[in-house]
Amino acid sequence: MVKKANFIYLIDLINPYLPDATGTSKEETVRLIITHASNGKYAPMPAPSTLNGFAATGISRAAAKKILKLTNKETSSLEEYFSQIGEDQLTRIANKLKKDGISTDVYRGRVPALLVKLFNDVFDKAASRKNKRKQKIPTQKSEDKITSVKSVSDEMFASVFHQVNVSEMNVVKNRNLIHAFVLKPELLPFSYKNLRELVLSNITNYAVARGVEKTDVSGLKAGRVLRNYEKSGVPSNLLGELLTYVFLEHEENALKLYTRAEISETSRTIDSEGIYLKSDGEKTQLILGASQLNNNLKNAVDNVVDKLSKFRNNQSDEMVLATDIVDTTILNAQPGEEKSQAIIQSMIPNESDFEEVVSYGLFIGYQFKTEQDLDNCTQEEAKKRCRQVVNNDLHQAISQLGRAIQQHHWQKSSFYVYLLPFTKAEEDSHSIMEDLIGV
């Protein structure tokens, strides 16, 4: 099957091979391409979450226009940069381009020039796209396509969270990312004002079925649904479930199919806290959401792993395909029949893109703990020390999760993990939801 050499494809193609890359994160790959394509003139560099978004959905119109404005294609250093890739790696890239039908006559020596042409074509195409902000609001008919529209803007997200670091877990053999975030302004005790506003603005999107028009009435219904759901005793921490949704949607462009809270109104339940669909143009994954908030990071990781181990697909003696986990009757009952059918159709395994093994999206909230003095120092020094602690927490979580993944033989699954410290994780999270929905 001939594939399209879009931005997503090209980033995946060169991701492991760039000469000055320190790892294999797609965020770094996108950053390096932007840097070299613009001859180092692109500034300021977009936030890591934005770069990850480019890798998942394609480069934005604004970024492409800026790159083209900053560089002359004839004098660009991009071809020289690609020429520094090792010979064996260039051969692998050439073979991949041939296999995917991008170029039938490419060989190792021609790869750098061809990559430059392909990236320039992508930048030209992206830059010439119509500005979506100037277009009319899409109708329901146009939403029947399988797309995820972020309910949290990049500006709102950036006003709440600072990403300290993002990494990959080497034990996981499929795509994976583990993010460490901290609440702005990274000073203790943490301020929850902006977090409350973000959560409040997403209660309806989380608790009401996809396709329902978001109005004041549906907002009132969402509050009632969540209050009843909380009183049922099913959720261990409602804020964690909602933030799993927020991070999966914003960082992975994952589409919410349905959440456990949402279907609780019909006296139904599921193992996970929510079911999501992630498509990056090449692969489509079914993601099961799970969360944990605990005053101890180690316990939080242990508890979320314990949750995963009790999912039906992990209790079965035989392989449970991702398609077997989705309840199509729930999808069919949601408004927008055409979109539901498109979603169901996209999950039929074929030779192209749907992954049979389920993936996981995890939110882990924990209590910030440190022996460092965060009082007897300047604000900037306190922020720096706070980030150092959170970065250390990230490495602890990677090590602990890695051992658990190997123990449970989950290496073939993708994992998308989000860490966030609280002043007091258990107490503060319950207090936030009590303020917002009255539970």
Distances, alpha carbon 24 to alpha carbons 11, 37, 212, 391, in Å? 11, 19, 39, 18
In this prediction, residue 196 carries a pLDDT of: 94
Reported as type and span, the H/E element at residue 359 is strand 359-367
Q: 315-344, pLDDT tens digit by residue?
A: 888 888 887 888 877 877 776 666 777 777
Q: Read off φ and ψ for residue 425, nearest 5 degrees.
A: -60, -50
CA distance 390 to 26: 21
Is residue 331 within 8 Å of residue 344, measured between CB atoms?
Answer: yes
Tell which wins on pLDDT, 211 or 348. Answer: 348
Residue 213 has pLDDT above 50, yes or no: yes
The percent of residues above 90 in pLDDT, for the chain, comes to: 42
Q: What number is the average pLDDT over the span 46-73?
A: 82
Q: How far is CA 238 from the centre of its chain?
A: 20
Residue 221 has pLDDT above 50, yes or no: yes
List own/partner pairs for 298-303 with CB under 8 A and 24 or more apart. Answer: 298/396, 298/400, 300/364, 300/365, 300/366, 300/425, 301/364, 301/397, 301/400, 301/401, 301/404, 302/400, 302/404
Reported as a pLDDT band with limits 50, 70 and 90, residue 266 is: low
Is residue 288 within 8 Å of residue 358, measured between CB atoms?
Answer: yes
Q: What number is the average pLDDT over the span 61-82?
A: 81
Is residue 243 within 8 Å of residue 196, measured between CB atoms?
Answer: no
Alpha helices in 347-424 (DSSP H): 379-408
DSSP per residue, 176-230: EEEEEEEETT--SSPP-HHHHHHHHHHHHHHHS-TTS---HHHHHHHHHHHHHHH
CA distance 204 to 147: 19
Q: Pick from 50, 68, 317, 59: which is nearest to 166 by CA?
A: 50
Reported as a pLDDT band with limits 50, 70 and 90, residue 75 is: low
In this prediction, residue 21 carries a pLDDT of: 77
Residue 197 has pLDDT above 80, yes or no: yes
Tokens of 76: 């660009």
CA distance 30 to 34: 6
CA-based torsion, 104, 110, 115, 121: positive or negative: negative
In this prediction, residue 263 carries a pLDDT of: 82
In this prediction, residue 241 carries a pLDDT of: 93
In 118-196, DSSP assigns E strands to 161-167, 176-183
The percent of residues above 70 in pLDDT, for the chain, comes to: 85
Q: What number is the average pLDDT over the span 44-62?
A: 82
